Structure 1
Amino acid sequence: MATTWTGRGGWTLTHDGALVALHHRGSTEEFRGAEAARLNVRWWFFRRTLTVADAGGTRRFTGLGRRDARAVRATLARVAARGHLGDALARASAAEAALARHLDDSIGRRHWVAYDDVAAIVAGLPTADEALAPFSAAERAALTHLLTSRESAALEFLQRDPWPDVARANARILASELEHERAFLDGVERSPLTTEQAKAVISHDSRVRVIAAAGSGKTSVMVARAAYVLHRRLVAPGRILMLAFNADAARELRARVDARLAALGLDASGVEVSTFHAFGLRVIGEATGRKPRIAPWIEQNRDVAKVEEIVDRLRDGDFAFRFRWDLFRLLHGKAGASLASAQPDSYDRATGTSGFATYRGDTVKSEGERLIADWLYLHGVEYRYEHPYVHDVSDATHGQYRPDFYYPTVDAWHEHWALRADGTVPDEFVGYAESMRFKRDLHRRHGTTLVETAWHSILDHSGFEELARTLESLGIVLDWNPDRPLPGAEPLAHERLARLIRTFMAHVKSGSLTRADLEDRLTARPTFDTARTRLFLDLYWRIHDVWEADLRAADAVDFDDMLARAAGALEADPALARWDLVMVDEFQDTSRTRARVVRALLAPGRRHLLAVGDDWQAINRFAGADLDVMTHFAGFFGPSLTRRLETTFRCTQATADVAGRFVSRNPAQLAKSVRSAAGTGGAPVVVVRVAREEDIPGAIGARLRDIARKHPQASVDVLGRYRADRDLLPREVPRGLRTAFRTIHASKGLEADHIVVPHLVAGRRGFPSTIEDDPLLALAMAEPDDFPYAEERRLLYVALTRARRTVTVVTVAGRESPFVLELLDDPDVTVVAASGERDQVRRCESCGEGTLVRRRGRYGDFLGCSTFPRCTATTPLA
């Protein structure tokens, strides 16, 4: 019913629902909803006045009575508030009712409430703060008196987070399904599903990440999820896609799905199981009418050999490339993230000093001097390191002067100064500037020739160019020969550098990175050794371009290109993504390109993703895998639910505890508390220390014989870090034992009663591998893991968790891997000698990174650190 107020000036104001009409002198102005805020009641010259706010100012209508003034003010506030909030409150009221119906219906049918279904219901609703933005604090407080009860309830809905209601509904649904579907959950696999597994199966949310510990039955969850959605008629068979990492895993998954669904009387014929690669090829063929061809060197697993072939072609046809390839391999290949942080690796018995081994066999005092010495040697320059100066300048407080290098053929001396790019001396080098002045003055006074280089210029290579010009001007002939015999330090092998290039390429292609992208990353990360990285990038892009040209010439693609094209096709044509449930196995090994494919499969909306993996077992970085895809799952795919499988049916509790504590030292790994289904206990992990490398086969043989006596029909896997570790196996193994050698990478997904890790030692071909964790790789990864040897740590975790009964690790005394030193601190690890008797190991208290080993000196035997010469600490024999 309309209400009208009349002013003494002959004007009237009428309110009817959302409309307020002002009548004056035969004309009418209408104010609908929020426009009523232009009207107000104010005092003007001691009279109550109706005001109208216009663009040009304020109009006033006087003659409003006291009682009417209060009523008009309240009415205008109510109409304006409802005008501002009306649409939002109407939508909120409808959404609240729709959500309540959806939750009630889902609970009644015991169907999981998916995130995207709820998100669609509340889509477009403003937050309470957004809806109330036009109102002051006082006006907000008055809203309770201005809104109807239904409008107030709608506003409260905007203020309330709906997701706790959804969580409560799903908790009821989960409990109900666990009860009603008990028979199904007990029979879907050969063994009844655990509560952890059943929860992962029933949680049919939009995006579910299942973090599965080793041996926890992740494949059972995938098979059971397929059976569950068919059993409950949530998804049709032809709308289920299961993606596996490799062909073997896909075949196993296909067989499991067929067998279990058939046993349940469910139709599995439409369920698609595929590798990412086969799936990508099919998508491209369907989208373009032309299925691409994978390059033969990729199909034959000869990708590293292909890089070597390209390098050989470039070296043969381009002297500049050959020089830079050899320069990196020989001078920079074994350097880390920062040359300034390099550790000594050699000891000069004649002088009793630690330092850095050169190719000629010298021990020099700094990494910069090593670079110079190796450069000189590879150029055929005769030099003497720290040769006594030609003039005796020693005195009571100073020994004889020994410049860094002496060139006898031209009678010239060379000093390599520790100077920064601005010519200053590092603050910690107290007295260094005075020493420089003294040495320069000596050469001036005695008329001797002094060649000078600086640390910063050697680091960015410009110093070598200047050094070459200086030496040639003195009459020294430079004869660069990268194939010169190297009696001293070991260089980086061509094959290992080619493997580093290929791994880097996998990440570049997976991330669709350009030259500019990598340049931006290098600029943004000052911790990188810039000169080394730029040299590497120069080599990489030359090889990359030839690789791409060879692909075009073969009318072929590599896997990364193919997956990128498949993702592009799915993104361009959503109709190609026709699956309602997508399940991905080994998700920790997913590359960014694979993640893009998965995201495109979900793009049409209201789809379901189940991603199963274990970040502790992420060991395929060499193939482009990016662990960040799993650890930051929601950032890639959207809001998600996480389920955990923390019961292992494989390992003993002792092995699970040792492996878990070891891998969890890296704080970037997702936390888990792994429990053995067998209960507490189990044999300790045994570390066998042998005296020499050649004693390893004998120690392994003794272990195999011991296993054969106790478990005659047991299976034993010897898991090496490298294929060459196969040579460490004894010639004969006991009859009855099922013994096999595998690399740890090849053991993924397998298990054996007993596991032997044959060569856990330090060194360039040791475990952890230094080349596989080269900091250069972090440049091509979005979120590099800065924890030392992160990938290698996970690799050892995989080896340990292949065991059903026992784990034996073999190391060499004095060459223990840093991983062994960590294991020594674990209460569930036992150390024995090759004889089988308990062995006592003393860690070096000085560096904490080595063990004390018996050494012989000029004054008798003593205990020294195994990391010598990096650590020179000694301890007298007890």
Structure 2
Amino acid sequence: MPQTWTGRSGWTLTREGGGLTLTADGATTRFEGPAASRIRVAWWWTGRCLVIEAGDDAPRTRLAGLRLRDAGAVATAVARIVTRATLRDALLVAAEREGYFERLLETRVRKQRWIAHDDAATILAELPRHDDVLAQLSAAQREDLDAHLSPAERKALSFLAQDHLARVSAANDEILRRELTVGRPFFDRVERSPLSEEQARAVISHDNRVRVIAAAGSGKTSVMVARAAYAIRRGFVRPDRILMLAFNADAAKELQERVETRLGALGLPRDGLRIATFHSFGLALIGEATGRKPRIAPWVEGGRDVEKVQEIVDRLRDQDLDFRFKWDLFRLLYGKVSATADGGEPDSYDPATKVSGFETYRGETVRSEGERLVADWLFLHGVDYRYEQPYAHDVADATHGQYRPDFYYPAVDAWHEHWAVRADGSVVEDFRGYRDAMTWKRKVHATHGTSLVETEWHSIIDHSGFEALAVDLEGHGLTLDWNPDRTLPGAEPLEHERLARLMRTFMSHIKSGSLTRESLRERVAAHPEWDTARTRLFVDLYWRIHEAWQGELDATRTVDFDDMLLRAAELVERDPGLARWDLVMVDEFQDTSRARARLTKALLAGQGKHLLAVGDDWQAINRFAGADLSLMTGFGAYFGPALTRRLQTTFRTTQTTADVAGRFVSRNPAQVTKAVHASRGPGGAPVRIVRVGRHDAVAGAVEAHLRRLAASSSGTVDVLGRYGFDKNLMPAARIDGLDVRFRTVHRSKGLEADHIVLPNVTSGRYGFPSTIEDDPVLTLAMSDDDGFRHSEERRLLYVALTRARRTVTLVTVAGRESPFILELIDDPDVEVVDADGTPIGEVRACPGCGEGTLVARSGPHGEFLGCSTFPRCRQTVRV
């Protein structure tokens, strides 16, 4: 109802609707909505008055005669009008969206249909934030807010204050609770064995983006099959709108068979349901979109891609002397570089000089990696040198022993000091008195008039200092004769095949990440520490190989897998009509590359799309092949807001094996945490480590173990090698009662056996973990790893352990135990036995490095215990 106040001086003020009307001195003015704030109540002389703010620097007007009893009512009316006007638009939107939102929740709960994130987000998309709405008000307005708003407005404001996604989650929890009960007959029949509750929860959660983290043996394939059946049965998705993408052909075949069998048994339609590998799907999609299905290059399809790189390299080396020189330079010198800032770990020991250090091509042991690079460079240039030859003059005194410069060149009577100095002038290690020693050595040469050549660690490690060294040595009269084909009596170089494999790996990541020359330069510019002579040389070689590779593809009118996947993604991005699937399921998601992820994301454009990504970050073992684990661990960051479900019940391993494997892999703090439980309950045989005295006893120990198994049980046995050559450790004769097969650990992924044997879990270059580390240049193109040492090798061993249904046995060599063995030895569910299966005594880890064991040794002072990793670790312990 309108309300009017009359002043003693003759003016009137009327509140009606959303404004105030003022009549004074024969004039009427309307103050609508926010403009009402121009009217306020104030004291003037001896009484109350209305103050009218004119604005725009015009003088304000005072109207005297406001009755004291009306002052509060006028102030309240102004505040109410201004407050409601300020909040009007936001509250109108809130009231409208509240109706839609409440209907969404009520309808979906009543129909037992999952409320997908995007359905709710569409309603909530333009909804103002509660805090932003209140921020428009003054403190006084906020204090009396309830009094100023109508019941409907208060309800709308209250809606803004709710946690809407929490309400969606609560509604979905109710839907889930009911579906688990109502749908139990379906969940019991959809697969050969009834679905567990956690499997059923993953199936029911029909959100737009669902990440299922599935422990080894937890039935992830059952979830994918059941999700398809559930969506069809409930009418959420037609069969021809479902796409299932598998990592390889074997997995796709298994999915196809399971879908046909299980949906057929339930009488559900399955016509048009698409199951394919990423590669076959991408090829077909390109063919559909362009009318011309591409052909994969035969050397790629046949797994001979590294051989093709070698073929290209051989041709380029024959045709181009510059390429030949740079290839050999990288392979022989730049390829031998440590990823650590202080020069790597020693790999050699000279008993004559008691020097622990780095083996050179000439066969001696030098003290630092920088010195090894200098020595190898000299050797390949045909320079005769002496390492640490005593100085020609006796300069020993009370504080200095006889001087031994790093290198001596007898042909020109010149000495060479390689200083352990960084580019900023600091020393590489905190050598006490190192700078004083540098000053003293220079003074010795000056005093005796001997020639001194100088190099510094930083310029030799990144190889930028070799040109200056060449000029210096030639200035002293030495002739440099570069010959990469010299016979190397000492250390082995980076093999041609390994460098070719490095180039192919780099190529996979370059292509999968859609990196160009320019974008690669930008990445390097953003990380100045990457911009080294070594990096520049590698990238130069790479682009030459890349161009030749692309030329081969063009000449044969073929594509490789990475280009094909990116082409398919580009086509879908341009024409979303190609993405005709509403439910996309991806298997082995932890091994997804950027190219696969881009294609997957393109398929999800538009409304009503659903992605189910199933994988296990603990089993991510294909980074070398282009996989990007961050797509799994950072799923929501790439694909959008996501729901995570966990499958933590394993139907394969015993609880003992699950516990040992879980504790082992979880040492890496970057892993997604999960607690794996065996469906068969607690217990199981301990994980067994067989420790033999010599490497040539490993094969016999494997055979003896298998014969003990055959005597007590039957079943399947998978002997899993870290490398293909571990097959040589298999028994020559067939063992009755056992079906024994050899596989590499990588090829065992997704498979299982009653018994698992790992025949060569030792330390060393070809041990487990392998110490053949990823080359640092891969960081230019690869996703970042988690920074934890041997993280992928750790996951690889986890995969091996979790292939077993009954027992796991690892064979190692005393004194050469893998660092992983040393961790497992401390596990309460692991036992250590000898080749005969007899428990053995304590195996002590090295207290110095923690990566070796203490082994008996003798020296000039008698018996002692030394680290098995010597010379890398020189820890000793008294007997």
Same fold, judged at TM 0.5 (above): yes
1:233 equivalent in structure 2: 235
Q: 1:762 to 1:330 in 2, by over 3 A?
A: farther
Farther off after superposition, 33-42 or 689-698: 33-42
Give the structure 1 partner of residue 778 of structure 2. Answer: 777
Contact 1:689/1:831 (8 A) holds in 2 = yes
Q: In structure 1, list runs of 5 or more residues that go unmatched.
A: none
**Is the CA contact 1:705–1:733 (under 8 Å) kept in the aligned structure 2?**
no
Q: 1:561 to 1:440 in 2, by over 3 A?
A: same
Using the alignment, how far apart are the partners of 1:42 and 1:283 within structure 2? 76
Q: Which moved more, 1:89-98 or 1:697-706?
A: 89-98
1:13 CA drift (Å):
4.2
Residues 474-873 of structure 1 aligned to structure 2 (within 5 Å): 474-522=476-524, 524-525=526-527, 530-712=532-714, 714-840=715-841, 841-858=843-860, 861-873=863-875
Shift of 1:25: 6.9
What value does the CA root-mean-square deviation take over the aligned residues? 2.3
- DSSP-derived class of the 1:716 partner: strand
Q: How far apart, in 2, do the equivalents of 1:271 and 1:238 lie?
A: 5
Q: Contact (CA 8 Å) 1:50, 1:61: kept in 2 or not?
A: yes
Moved more, 125-134 or 569-578: 569-578
Partner in structure 1 of residue 37 of structure 2 = 37
Given that 1:34 and 1:84 are in contact with CA atoms closer than 8 Å, whether structure 2 keeps it comes out as yes
Contact 1:5–1:13 (Cα < 8 Å) also in 2: yes
Q: Is the 8 A contact 2:176 2:205 kept in 1?
A: yes
Question: Percent identity over the alignment?
Answer: 63
Report which stretch shifted further, 528-537 or 144-153. Answer: 528-537
The TM-score normalised by the length of structure 2 is 0.95
The change in CA–CA distance for 1:699 and 1:528 in structure 2 (over 3 A counts) is farther
State the distance in 2 between where 1:679 and 1:347 align.
51
Residues 42, 51 of structure 1: 8 Å contact kept: no
Contact 2:818–2:851 (8 Å) recurs in 1:
no
Alignment-mate amino acid for residue 101 of structure 1: R
Whether contact under 8 Å (1:844, 1:850) holds in the other structure is yes
For the structure 1 residues 291 and 81, does the alpha-carbon distance in structure 2 shift closer, same or farther, using more than 3 Å as the test?
farther
- How far apart in 2 are the matches of 1:392 and 1:69? 107
Counterpart residue identity of residue 281, structure 1: L
Partner in structure 2 of residue 124 of structure 1: 126
Match for 1:625: what amino acid? A
Matched AA of 2:566? A
Work out the CA distance in 2 between the residues paired with 1:737 and 1:269.
Answer: 42
SS, match of residue 808 in structure 2: strand
> Match for 1:166 among 148, 165, 168?
168
Deviation of 1:357 (Å): 0.9
When structure 1 is superposed on structure 2, of 367-376 and 418-427 the one drifting more is 418-427
> Cα–Cα, structure 1 residues 427 and 673, in superposed 2: closer, same or farther, change >3 Å?
closer
* Aligned partner letter, 2:379: Y
1:415 alignment counterpart:
417
Aligned length: 876
- CA distance in 2: counterparts of 1:18 and 1:284, whole angstroms: 61
After TM superposition, the structure 1 = structure 2 runs for residues 389-428 of structure 1, keeping only pairs within 5 Å, are 389-395=391-397, 398-425=400-427, 428=430
**Cα deviation per residue 1:738-772 (whole Å; 9 max; x = unaligned)?**
11111111111000111111211222222222335
Answer whether contact 2:717 2:753 (CA < 8 A) is retained.
yes
Q: For residues 10 and 580 of structure 1, do their structure 2 counterparts lie closer, same or farther at Cα, with a shift above 3 Å needed?
A: farther
Whole-angstrom distance in 1 between the partners of 2:796 and 2:341: 27
Q: 1:605 to 1:399 in 2, by over 3 A?
A: same
The alpha-carbon deviation at position 298 of structure 1 amounts to 1.8
1:149 to 148, 151, 156: 151
Match of 2:458 in 1: 456
Conserved 8 A contact 1:338-1:527: no
Residue of structure 2 aligned with 1:386, choices 385, 388, 404: 388
Provide, for residues 529-569 of structure 1, a one-character-per-residue CA deviation record: whole Å limited to 9, x for no partner.
94443433333333233333333333333222222222222
- Separation in structure 1 between the aligned mates of residue 236 and residue 79 of structure 2, nearest angstrom: 50
Distance in 1 (alpha carbons) for counterparts of 2:318 and 2:30: 87
Q: 1: distance between equivalents of 2:605 and 2:40?
A: 50
Cα pair distance change 1:74/1:424, threshold 3 Å: closer
State the Cα deviation string for residues 559-608 of structure 1 (Å, max 9, x = none): 22222222222222222222221111111111122222222222202322
Q: Which residue of 1 aligns with 2:196?
A: 194
**Cα offset for 1:23?**
5.2
Aligned equivalents of 1:337, 1:385: Cα separation in 2 = 25
1:685 Cα deviation from its structure 2 partner: 1.4
CA deviation after TM superposition for structure 1 residue 785, in Å: 1.5
**TM-score for both structures, normalised by structure 1:** 0.95
Q: How does 1:56-95 map to 2 (within 5 A)?
A: 56-60=57-61, 62-63=63-64, 65-66=66-67, 67-95=69-97
AA in 2 matched with 1:245: F
SS of 1:670's partner is coil
C-alpha separation in 1, matches of 2:209 and 2:426: 56
User: Contact 1:20–1:36 (CA<8 Å) still a contact in 2?
Assistant: yes
* Maintained 8 Å contact 2:39/2:50: no
Mapping for residues 231-380 of structure 1, pairs under 5 Å: 231-380=233-382
Report the AA paired with residue 739 of structure 2: R
Counterpart in 1 of 2:18?
A: 18
The 8 Å contact of residues 496 and 771 in structure 1, kept in 2 or not, is answered as no
- Rate the CA distance shift 1:527–1:837 in 2: closer, same or farther, 3 A: farther
SS across alignment from 2:465: helix
**Partners of 2:832 and 2:531 in 1: CA distance:** 39
- Give secondary structure in 2 for the equivalent of 1:102: helix
* 1:639-687 Cα distance to aligned partner (Å, 9 max, x none): 2111111111111111111111111111010001111112111111111
Structure-2 change in CA distance of 1:93 and 1:342 (3 Å): same
Does the CA contact (< 8 Å) of 2:762 and 2:816 recur in 1?
yes
Check 1:680–1:381 CA distance in 2 against 1; reply closer, same or farther (3 A cut): same
Amino acid at match of 2:781: A
**Structure 1 stretch displaced more, 593-602 or 7-16:** 7-16
**After superposition, what is the alpha-carbon deviation per residue over 1:65-93, rounded to whole angstroms, capped at 9, x for unaligned?**
32444333322322222222112112212
